[in-house]
Amino acid sequence: MTLEPRDGAVRRVLVAVPVLAIVAVLAPYLWPTDRGPISPWSDLLQQHAPMVELLARGLRTEGELARWNPQDYGGTPTVGDAQAGVYNPIYWLLALRPSLHAFGLLIVAYAIAGAVGFMLYARALGVSTTAAAAGAILFTLGGNLLVRVALLGHTVYEPFFLVPFVLWSLHRVAESPRPRRVALAATLVALLAVSLHPQILVYCAAIFAVEGLFLAWHAARPLPVLAALAWVALLSLGLSAVHLLPTVELADEFSRGRLEFFKPDEWQPAGIMNAAWLAAAVAGPGRIPEDIQAEPHYYLGALGLVLVALGAAAWPRGHRHRRNAWFHGTLAVALLAYGAGLGTVIERRLSEAVALPLFRIPLRTLLILALPAAILASLGVDALHAAPRARRRLVAVIATVVAAIILVVAGPSPARVARLLPFALGIAGIAWLERGTTRWRHAASAVIAAALVLDTARVLAPCIATAPEQDARRLAPGLALPDDVGRATRILQLERDSYTPGIPQLVVRERRLETLGGFNSLIPWRFVLYASYAGGFNPFAEVFDVQVPIGAPEEPHLFDLLGVSHVFWLKTDGSWQWHHSPGAFPRAYLAPAPVIVPEAKPGAGLEPEVTALSRLASIDPTRSVLLQGENARAALAAIGAGPGKPTEPYRPVELHERTANRIRLEVRTERPAILVFNEPYFRGWRAFTGTTELPVLRANFMFRAVALPPGDHAIMLEFAPRSWRIGWWLSVLSVAVTAALAGLGSGRAARGPLGLGGGR
């Protein structure tokens, strides 16, 4: 007998339980409004909130999203950065009024969406409202996701809360492949594609493919379902093309996309499946905020584990739930095995076979594990309701004995006893299910839900912390900006700390400074080589992750060439020291005597680049300029320049306009000239003089340049990669198709997409 309350009021209460639990646990993120999520290790403060500030300023001042970020690493793209969220519509809402508090509201909203979406998905699988509510509690408050979002500020993981919505929509498409349902599913998948962390997106794509095949296999008419799901996939790819195509095209421009910079993961996940981990999962670690074990952390609680075991094993042969139990049980085991060590082996073998940089961390599959585990727990709740009274008694007795054994082995300390209290409460709820009346069964279900909330919330609650907004916008104690530091001043902090820099990233955005620092796992590899060579760091031998550590400059003139006018560092006595460099180069200048040097070819290693750097360190940039690649030779020939031919001498050129996406200037030259922009070179920059497009050359290893014939020139540089332009039009076309599908089949059983399917 499965408990499915017929009373609408009871059902609404059951649906409200996980939502109210989320609001109660995450209440500090809601109020007061002058506070926001914070922790000493938060990516939110260093990367995600500053990125939204950049997008907001672009929309406010330029009327478009920033495709280029001029403030970090001397300049780096946002388009092509898979974690920037440029085309995430949720970020657009945040950009209307960016604040840390808005991120707190976003975390709460995502968690509530996860609970609601999970209940819809669980109901589509045929479980009761009571069971769906219990699973929603484990999905949102248990597992690994919210701990990572709250403690480490990984807000690019929180869109995973939308995955149950996607799976629910796929079920609806499989039931009846109507155009509107296809449009909804494609929109949800596209929203994940433009917002979710790429590592997690890879795993989610695999789950969607497996789930889709599973649905089609068991459908009454498999071919129409497969056709409809194929349309979902194509539309979602089209909708997200403006984000995905540049990400794929520019991947090798970042250090994470180059095998030379790859460092094996330091995690040792193989021990996660041993008895110690199981005991921690049952008794609870209770020390996450202090030890920062958020990557391998996973917590369901003792009661949650009991429900998962029941959901996986309690359904008899031939029951409609047995198929779902086996499917999600197999998925859970596969994810756990992959995260526990198998994934590391597979990915290392793959990287060796195809020279693919290993950038995924298999342990992050524990985020995905929350979904099948919560489904199994939902099935476990229904199994309790459907089981004979004697079996429920047996479950309660076995669970109690196991808890007692764990308590004895772990030691009966007050803290450990307190950790088992929610479990005891849940066991009491299981025992109450023996009562025959509906009222008692409702009460018992409420007790089980409350026990799940208490168990998971006690681990999560210590990770929820906020601080006043202004605390994240303060310079380090004792640090003051010099009077001559204004907008677009390029600065360098020596020995910069990743999480507590002297000038926080939000201050960098607010003052419109430009820094060689930053915080991002995607760092342009040319900047890595240039800054490490100038600052005495070997990126091929030493580990770096989200920034390039720069010590005392070994080649200070290279920082001058990069236009760094101010350098500061923390002295041993705790005071801050500033140095102003009068030799910093301007943002644009004419450079004479071009010299062409080789550049690294794809897959051939970076030795030519290191050689070019060493040569650059030995020349006077006012007397000569290095140009890399054969396209430079053709560009020089087109303007009548080359070896032994005079060119325009060195002189600064003033910029007329400089925004995130464009640079404009005017210059007059008497002879052929090389105009160098003191801005990082990146594939995707285009140059125009009038309506004529000029090739953008790589100069002095990591800068941009154009070759100009004699005459007057109005130059405009724009960052607009071809993949972005193609993706833009594909996305616009896909939006039109999706909108057309959404307008079809309003009140009748519509045929499938383009006539390929039909309702059953």
CA distance 392 to 131: 16
CA distance 696 to 681: 9
pLDDT for the residue 433 = 67
SS3 652: strand
Do 755 and 645 belong to one domain? no
CA distance 28 to 186: 34
In a domain, 291, yes or no: no
Do 576 and 602 belong to one domain? no
**pLDDT of 472-482, one tens digit each?**
899 999 999 99
**pLDDT of 335-384, one tens digit each?**
888 877 676 667 666 666 555 555 557 778 888 999 999 999 999 998 88
Dump the DSSP string for 252-263. GGBGGG-GGG--
Please tell me the pTM assigned to this model. Answer: 0.90
Candidate from 11-15, 389-393, 590-594, 680-684 with smallest mean pLDDT: 389-393
The total number of structural domains in the chain stands at 3
Do 491 and 615 belong to one domain? no
φ, ψ for residue 688, nearest 5 deg: -135, 140
Do 704 and 596 belong to one domain? yes
Do 633 and 667 belong to one domain? yes
In a domain, 694, yes or no: yes
In a domain, 683, yes or no: yes
Q: Which two tokens stand for residue 359?
A: 């950038």
Q: Is the dihedral of CA 280, 281, 282, 288 positive or negative?
A: positive
Cβ distance 19 to 112 under 8 Å? yes
Q: Which helix (H) or strand (E) holds 426?
A: helix 414-432
Cβ distance 132 to 119 under 8 Å? yes
Q: Which two tokens stand for residue 435?
A: 């009562």
Do 199 and 220 belong to one domain? yes
CA distance 715 to 213: 54
In a domain, 254, yes or no: no
Is the pLDDT assigned to residue 699 strictly greater than 80?
yes
Is the pLDDT assigned to residue 750 strictly greater than 90?
no
| Nearest residue to 303 (alpha-carbon basis) of 384, 411, 413 | 384
**Residue ending a domain, choose from 580, 611, 626:** 580
Do 500 and 609 belong to one domain? no
Cβ distance 79 to 253 under 8 Å? no
Residue with tokens 């669970």: 399
**Average pLDDT estimate for 89-103:** 91
**pLDDT of 239-257, one tens digit each?**
999 999 999 999 889 988 7
In a domain, 493, yes or no: yes
Is the pLDDT assigned to residue 300 strictly greater than 90?
no
Cα separations (Å) of 739 from 166, 178, 729?
18, 14, 15
Q: Amino acid letter at 542?
A: E
Do 704 and 677 belong to one domain? yes
Residue with tokens 């070819």: 601
In a domain, 624, yes or no: yes
**Please, how many CA atoms are within 13 Å of residue 33, restricted to the half-sphere of its CB?**
2
**Please, how many CA atoms are within 13 Å of residue 38, restricted to the half-sphere of its CB?**
15
Do 710 and 731 belong to one domain? no
Confidence of residue 164 (pLDDT cuts 50, 70, 90): very high
Q: Domain residues for 661?
A: 588-721
Cα separations (Å) of 26 from 109, 158, 455, 571?
10, 14, 15, 40
**Residue ending a domain, choose from 533, 558, 580:** 580
Cα separations (Å) of 218 from 174, 213, 214?
9, 9, 7
In a domain, 732, yes or no: yes
Residue with tokens 């139990």: 325
Do 605 and 716 belong to one domain? yes
Do 705 and 738 belong to one domain? no
**Residue ending a domain, choose from 580, 612, 645:** 580
Cβ distance 656 to 647 under 8 Å? no
In a domain, 231, yes or no: yes
Do 592 and 669 belong to one domain? yes
Candidate from 134-143, 265-274, 480-489, 518-527 with smallest mean pLDDT: 265-274
The DSSP output letter for 524 is B
